[in-house]
Structure 1
Amino acid sequence: MNLFLGLVSDTAASAIWAMVVASLLPLTMALTAKMLGGFNLADNAHPREFLQGTTGAAARANAAQQNSYETLPVFLAAVLAAMLFFVPQMIVNTLAWLYVLIRIGFCVAYITNLAMFRSILWGLSIACCLMLFYLSIRISM
């Protein structure tokens, strides 16, 4: 039985879906930042300027968006490397979805200003990526 009590399938599609969800997370945080900041149609002419001027939860949601973009390439590369080197698919899927869930928690912690918890979640999400790379290296030897 896997970490998610049988909710994660053992097909490659599961890891691909995790990559899709992780790729949509920055967009979700951008929309959240705009909603919390009172974004309106007139602000669409200069949305980055609008987001830079936000404060509080909106500014933190924007920061979560930026951090999500920063870590996304590492995650995508880790999953693809693990699949390329035939890490058992259930392990890849479990670590991929664990990353996604941790990153969602990270975003919530960022928006609600739980700085220490957010930092712990960031470290755990990177650990998922590093584990995928490590397993890829071990199998390729």
Structure 2
Amino acid sequence: MNALTPHFTVAYWCVLIAALLPTVCAYLAKSRGFGRSREQGGFDNHNPRAWLQQQTGFQARANAAQANTFEALPFFIGAVIIAHQLGAQQTWLDLLALLFVLLRGFYILMYVADMATARSVVWAVAMLVNVAILFVGYH
């Protein structure tokens, strides 16, 4: 491929994966409600936000992880696009994007498992990795 041929980089695939992570969180948040009627406390698709607000334990934490995962997306997407536009060295950009996605996956697991301190550390490291992605193309 020459420089003028567009292609989907690993970093772009990571954007797709990161965009799908909130769906994983939503599934976890709603999972105990599947297969039961609303009258039995099952998931209420007619009023999902109110139902989710009533959840406790891992379901409430999964819902909070979903919100935070959505909040992290714009910066990550922007950083990847800016790094590409600045001509970042592709291998570094891809590795950093992969690291970000892995860290966000661990973040979700730690949030659901109620590992608050470890979760906060992983969140901070992922934020630093995102900043590194933004500047990896800086010359």
After superposition, residues 33-52 of structure 1 pair within 5 angstroms as 33-36=29-32, 38-39=33-34, 40=36, 42=38, 43-52=44-53
- In 2, the alpha carbon distance for the partners of 1:46 and 1:62 equals 15
- TM-align CA RMSD: 1.4
Report the counterpart of residue 56 of structure 2 in structure 1: 55
- In 2, the alpha carbon distance for the partners of 1:54 and 1:44 equals 14
Report the CA distance between 1:14 and its aligned residue: 1.1
- In 1, the alpha carbon distance for the partners of 2:69 and 2:37 equals 25
1 or 2, which has the higher helix percentage? 1
Task: Could you tell me which runs of 5 or more consecutive residues in structure 1 were left unpaired when the two chains were aligned.
Answer: 1-10
- In 1, the alpha carbon distance for the partners of 2:90 and 2:59 equals 38
SS at match of 1:58: helix
Report the counterpart of residue 3 of structure 1 in structure 2: none
Is the 8 Å Cα contact of residues 12 and 93 (structure 1) preserved in structure 2? no
Report the CA distance between 1:134 and its aligned residue: 2.2
Amino acid across the alignment from 1:52: Q
- In 2, the alpha carbon distance for the partners of 1:53 and 1:96 equals 35
Distance 1:41 1:75, change over 3 A: farther
Is the 8 Å Cα contact of residues 65 and 111 (structure 2) preserved in structure 1? yes
Is the 8 Å Cα contact of residues 15 and 79 (structure 1) preserved in structure 2? yes
Amino acid across the alignment from 2:31: M
Is the 8 Å Cα contact of residues 93 and 136 (structure 2) preserved in structure 1? no
Report the counterpart of residue 115 of structure 1 in structure 2: 116
Q: TM-score, normalised by structure 1?
A: 0.85
The Cα offsets for residues 41-84 of structure 1, whole Å up to 9 and x where unpaired, read as 64000111111110000000000000000111010001111011
Number of residue pairs the alignment of both structures matches: 127
Q: Which runs of structure 1 show a deviation greater than 4 angstroms over 4 or more consecutive aligned residues? A: 39-42
SS at match of 2:45: helix
Bigger CA radius of gyration: 2
Distance 1:41 1:65, change over 3 A: farther
Residue 25 of structure 1: which of 21, 25, 50 is its match?
Answer: 21
- In 2, the alpha carbon distance for the partners of 1:69 and 1:41 equals 29
Report the CA distance between 1:105 and its aligned residue: 0.2
- In 1, the alpha carbon distance for the partners of 2:134 and 2:14 equals 17
